Amino acid sequence: MVKRVTIADTALEASFRVAELIAKKMKPRTSGEEINDPACNMTVETMLGKVARDQVSKVPLSNNTISQRIFEMSVDINEEVVERIKSNAKFALQVDESIAIAGKCPLLGFCGFIDKEVVEQLMFCRKLQTTTTGEDILASVTSYLTDHGLSWNDCCGICIDGAPSMIQTYKGFITRTLKENPSMTTAHCFLHREVRVEKSLLKV
């Protein structure tokens, strides 16, 4: 049986393509309905007529729709990354936490693994709910790994930013992760080391 491509199918695909473009350009999610939709309708009507415009206007570009499309794409990308990690058994992890605007504290996790070549990919971005201790960071990362069927035993190395919560001797994140997997290698991000050296030199 031959599957026919309908207007609904093409409108859905177009909606995802516009959402991807908005996300890549880091534009407000209202851009679809406030700018893209009116501009596209005007262009199509001018060049191809009202019938073509009516077809194009069926592409859903509301704020809520664009938000949902971006969320669905991010979930899909995350699932693909996890599956590629599982197929290659081992991965390395870089973790960075910082205080952002309005006192929120995002925890970023980047992964590296070998899939014919070295692949580096954003793994997660999670908000630490209350405090930013080594225990909180470990709990957040462990929760992510468990939810996606991964284990600390699969992590062969970890790189951190050098914050006190990361490197404290007894309660730091690194100390706690080594209890989960003592065979992991650990490293301090060279970019953070360079920044510290620069600050020290500026004081001289």
pLDDT of residue 2: 47
**One domain, residues 40 and 120:** no
Domain end call among 26, 48, 74: 74
The answer as to whether 31 is a domain residue is yes
**Res 170: pLDDT:** 78
C-alpha triplet 53, 55, 56: angle, nearest 5°: 65
My answer on whether 112 and 157 are in the same domain is yes
- Establish if 84 belongs to a structural domain: no
Which are the contacts of 42, defined by CB distance < 8 A and separation ≥ 6?
Answer: none
The one-letter code for the residue type at 162 is G
Q: Are residues 106 and 178 in the same domain?
A: yes
Q: Residues 66, 95: one domain?
A: no
By residue range, what is the domain housing residue 159? 89-203
Predicted local confidence at residue 156, as pLDDT:
93
pLDDT at 130: 75
Instruction: Provide the pairing of β-strand 117-127 with 106-115.
Output: antiparallel
Which of 31, 47, 74 terminates a domain? The answer is: 74
Q: What is the pLDDT of residue 1?
A: 46
Give residue 203's pLDDT: 64
Structure-token match 């630490």, residue found: 128
Specify whether 127 is located in the same domain as 44.
no
Helix ranges (H only) for 25-99 are 31, 37-48, 50-56, 63-88
- Tens-of-pLDDT digits for all 204 residues of the chain? 445 546 588 888 999 999 998 888 888 888 888 888 888 889 999 999 999 889 888 898 899 999 999 999 999 989 998 998 888 878 999 998 776 666 678 888 999 998 888 889 888 888 887 778 889 999 999 999 999 999 999 999 998 876 777 877 778 898 999 999 999 998 877 555 555 555 565 665
Rounded distance between C-alpha atoms, residue 162 and residue 166, angstroms: 6
Compute the half-sphere exposure of residue 200: CA atoms within 13 Å on the CB side of its CA: 6
> For residue 80, is it within any domain?
no
145 and 193 inside one domain: yes
Give the count of domains, the chain: 2
pLDDT of residue 7: 54
Please name the residues in contact with 144: beta carbons below 8 A apart, sequence gap of 6 or more.
109, 123, 124, 126
Residue 196 in any domain: the answer is yes
The pLDDT, as a whole number, for residue 96 is 86
